[in-house]
């Protein structure tokens, strides 16, 4: 079989595999895009034209059966490429001397991987499973002049390491192409029918499996509705945890100013205010301080909130009020992309803990709390989807939920009161209960 016949069967999107030189050729997409076939066929052709060392790599390869060895054998048989000789652990071209070798990266230490230094083309199949560690070892090892690294993958998550390292912001030596089943003229009818069925019945799955989009992580939502409903059932009748107030201040248009009252594991109530000028909001807040003597008020300092803070600070409430900026650096900077993600996650933890927990039953609150999708940034830190996107979906601003999460800006400890347990004397069980209590 001559090469032209094989080339004629490679979908157009894959032409650069044969005709262009790039340090990295990064192909990604959904099921049935033709990636594996096109990579195999292109490499077989290249190996017939000149002597090459081609390494077929994946993260884990317990046996050669896990590799693309089988696919290459099938393609060799299909095209009757008698110049290729199939051996137990490698494939060789009798005429050019090209060799295909097969390796799993996870078990390669620096010594073993040295054998890859003469490689002309490395094909990384299932690129979504490659760890950053494997990439960091591999990338400098493929060092021969003119060598190329070909990557095929179906994206798994938003922060698949190779996606972040290579494709999210490709450099000038990297080709990034998305190919899906509808780019593959050889996609079998059966696969197309399956794709169509999936598109109708499970659109989210369709986007992931067939269009190559990453899974929205952890079933997308930060807070599950059943956890909020659980908190709607009254379980707590009293608490002596300090009162913390979250204050989400109206910005533009029809947003409301919302106060959220929380003591420990009991979120007591919300108060909303439709006034928008900073003096009225500050006055109202001062009234709340007088009536309830909260240990702390965390207020949203973005927008007009900064003005409310200044007024209250100038009136002597600096000890009680704290300005919080949703976009600022998180306290646990290595885990959260910003304060907003950190506070929302603290609130989610509070809701998900097994200890009794209580929220005022309020469907608006439920919708708002469950409206926010999780995302992760390039460093794998929690980053929520933008407030604009949440607003679009919800049709309004989630200001009750924001007031509520503000109460989780920082833990507030009540250091002023001495605790007595039981009837004025220490009861062991109560002490354990106290130790087991969360910081929220
Ligand atoms: N050149 C080709 N000639 C004949 N059939 C092809 C060719 N390329 C692809 N196909 C058909 O399309 C199907 C999907 O191709 P392939 O397995 O390469 O897709 P993929 O992008 O690797 O996706 P995944 O492995 O996730 O399903 C193959 O099973 C095969 O039936
Ligand atoms: Mg494949």
Question: Highest mean pLDDT range out of 74-78, 201-205, 377-381?
Answer: 74-78
- pLDDT tens readout for residues 188-240: 999 999 999 888 877 777 888 899 988 765 457 889 887 898 899 888 888 88
Task: Give the residue among 406, 400, 330 at the shortest CA–CA distance from 370.
Answer: 400
Give the pLDDT of residue 214.
86
How much of the chain exceeds pLDDT 90, in percent?
Answer: 64
Number of helices (H), then strands (E), belonging to the chain: the values are 17, 15
389 CA to centre of ligand 2 in angstroms: 34
CA-41 nearest atom, ligand 1: 1
pLDDT at 28 over 90: yes
Where do the domains of the chain lie, and which CATH numbers do they carry?
3-209 (3.40.50.300), 225-432 (3.30.420.240)
37 CA to centre of ligand 1 in angstroms: 5
Give the pLDDT of residue 423.
47
Alpha helices in 233-362 (DSSP H): 278-292, 305-314, 339-352
pLDDT at 433 over 70: no
Give the pLDDT of residue 434.
47
Give the pLDDT of residue 379.
80
Q: Is 356 left (phi over 0), alpha (psi -120 to 50) or beta?
A: beta
**Span 11-19, average pLDDT:** 96
CA-187 nearest atom, ligand 1: 12
Give the pLDDT of residue 418.
46
129 CA to centre of ligand 1 in angstroms: 20
386 CA to centre of ligand 1 in angstroms: 37
Average pLDDT across the chain, whole number: 89
Of 339 and 133, more confident: 339
Ligand closest in space to the Cα of 33: 1
Q: In what order do the strands lie in the sheet with 53-58?
A: 84-86, 91-93, 99-104, 53-58, 121-125, 148-153, 24-28, 174-178
The count of other CB atoms within 10 Å of the CB of residue 437 is 13
CA-27 nearest atom, ligand 1: 21
Task: Give the residue among 195, 191, 208, 287 at the shortest CA–CA distance from 245.
Answer: 287
β-pairing, 243-248 vs 257-263, is antiparallel
Give the pLDDT of residue 421.
45
Give the pLDDT of residue 435.
44
pLDDT at 70 over 50: yes
- pLDDT tens readout for residues 107-126: 777 677 778 999 999 999 99
Provide the whole-model pTM. 0.57
Give the pLDDT of residue 414.
65
56 CA to centre of ligand 2 in angstroms: 13
| Of 1, 3, 36, best ligand 1 pocket probe by most atoms within 8 Å of the beta carbon | 36
Of 425 and 26, more confident: 26
**Span 405-418, average pLDDT:** 79
pLDDT band at 37 (very low <50, low <70, confident <90, very high): very high
pLDDT at 424 over 60: no
| Of 6, 177, 184, best ligand 1 pocket probe by most atoms within 8 Å of the beta carbon | 184
The distance between the two most distant Cα atoms of the chain, rounded to a whole number of Å, is 93
β-pairing, 84-86 vs 121-125, is unpaired
pLDDT at 315 over 60: yes
Ligand closest in space to the Cα of 32: 1
Q: What lines the ligand 1 site, CB under 6 Å?
A: 9-10, 31-37, 41, 154, 184, 186-188
CA distance 262 to 243: 6
- pLDDT tens readout for residues 277-312: 899 999 999 999 999 999 999 999 988 899 999 999
39 CA to centre of ligand 2 in angstroms: 9
85 and 76 Cβ atoms separated by less than 8 Å: no
- pLDDT tens readout for residues 243-269: 999 999 987 666 789 999 999 999 999
| Of 37, 154, 211, best ligand 1 pocket probe by most atoms within 8 Å of the beta carbon | 37
CA-179 nearest atom, ligand 1: 21
Tokens 């646990």 found at: 332
Give the pLDDT of residue 173.
97
148 and 21 Cβ atoms separated by less than 8 Å: yes
33 CA to centre of ligand 1 in angstroms: 6
β-pairing, 91-93 vs 84-86, is antiparallel
CA-188 nearest atom, ligand 1: 31
Residue nearest atom 15 of ligand 1, based on CA coordinates: 34
188 CA to centre of ligand 1 in angstroms: 8
91 CA to centre of ligand 2 in angstroms: 20
Ligand closest in space to the Cα of 78: 1
Helix (H) or strand (E) holding 206: helix 203-209
Phi/psi at 102 (5° precision): -130, 125
**Span 328-346, average pLDDT:** 94
pLDDT at 7 over 50: yes
**What CA–CA distances, in Å, run from 335 to 131, 329, 330, 401?**
19, 11, 8, 21
Task: Give the residue among 121, 123, 117 at the shortest CA–CA distance from 137.
Answer: 117
Which residues, other chains included, contact 335 with Cβ-Cβ below 8 Å and sequence gap of 6+? Answer: 342, 381, 382
Ligand closest in space to the Cα of 190: 1
439 CA to centre of ligand 1 in angstroms: 53
- pLDDT tens readout for residues 129-172: 898 889 999 999 999 999 999 999 999 877 789 998 999 999 99
| Of 6, 31, 32, best ligand 1 pocket probe by most atoms within 8 Å of the beta carbon | 32
Give the pLDDT of residue 436.
45
């Amino acid at each position: 079989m001559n090469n032209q016949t094989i080339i004629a069967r490679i979908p157009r999107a894959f032409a650069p595999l044969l005709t262009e030189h790039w340090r990295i050729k990064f192909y990604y997409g959904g099921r049935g895009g033709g990636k594996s076939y096109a990579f195999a066929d292109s490499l077989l052709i290249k190996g017939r034209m000149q002597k090459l060392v081609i390494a077929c790599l994946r993260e884990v390869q317990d046996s050669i059966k896990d590799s693309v060895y089988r696919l290459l054998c099938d393609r060799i048989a299909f095209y009757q490429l008698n110049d290729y000789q199939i051996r137990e652990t490698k494939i060789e071209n009798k005429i050019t001397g090209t060799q295909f070798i097969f390796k799993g990266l996870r078990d390669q230490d620096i010594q073993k991987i040295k054998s890859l230094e003469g490689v002309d083309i490395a094909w990384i199949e299932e690129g979504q499973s490659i760890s950053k560690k494997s990439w960091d070892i591999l990338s400098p090892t493929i060092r021969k002049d003119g060598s190329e690294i070909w990557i095929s993958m179906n994206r798994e998550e938003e922060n698949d390491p190779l996606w972040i390292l290579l494709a999210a912001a490709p450099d000038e030596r990297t080709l990034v192409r998305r190919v899906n089943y509808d780019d593959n003229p050889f996609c079998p009818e059966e696969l197309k029918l399956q794709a169509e069925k999936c598109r109708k019945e499970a659109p989210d799955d369709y986007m992931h499996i067939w269009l190559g989009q990453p899974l929205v992580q952890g079933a997308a939502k930060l807070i599950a509705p059943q956890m909020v409903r659980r908190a709607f059932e009254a379980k707590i009748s009293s608490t002596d945890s300090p009162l913390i107030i979250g204050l989400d201040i109206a910005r533009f248009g029809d947003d409301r100013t919302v106060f959220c009252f929380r003591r420990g594991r009991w979120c007591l109530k919300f108060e909303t205010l439709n006034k928008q000028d900073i003096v009225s909001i500050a006055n109202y807040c001062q009234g709340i301080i007088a009536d309830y003597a909260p240990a702390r008020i965390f207020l949203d300092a973005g927008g007009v909130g900064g003005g409310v803070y200044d007024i209250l600070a100038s009136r002597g409430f600096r000890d009680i009020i704290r300005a919080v900026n949703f976009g600022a650096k998180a306290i646990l900077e290595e885990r959260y992309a910003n304060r907003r993600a950190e506070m929302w996650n603290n609130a989610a933890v509070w809701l998900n803990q097994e200890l009794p927990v209580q929220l005022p039953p309020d469907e608006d609150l439920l919708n708002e709390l469950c409206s926010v999708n999780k995302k992760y940034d390039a460093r794998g830190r929690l980053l929520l989807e933008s407030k604009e996107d949440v607003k679009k979906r919800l049709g309004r601003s989630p200001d009750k939920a924001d007031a509520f999460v503000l109460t989780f800006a920082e833990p507030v400890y009540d250091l002023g009161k001495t605790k007595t347990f039981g009837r004025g004397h220490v009861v062991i069980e109560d002490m354990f209960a106290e130790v087991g209590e969360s910081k929220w």
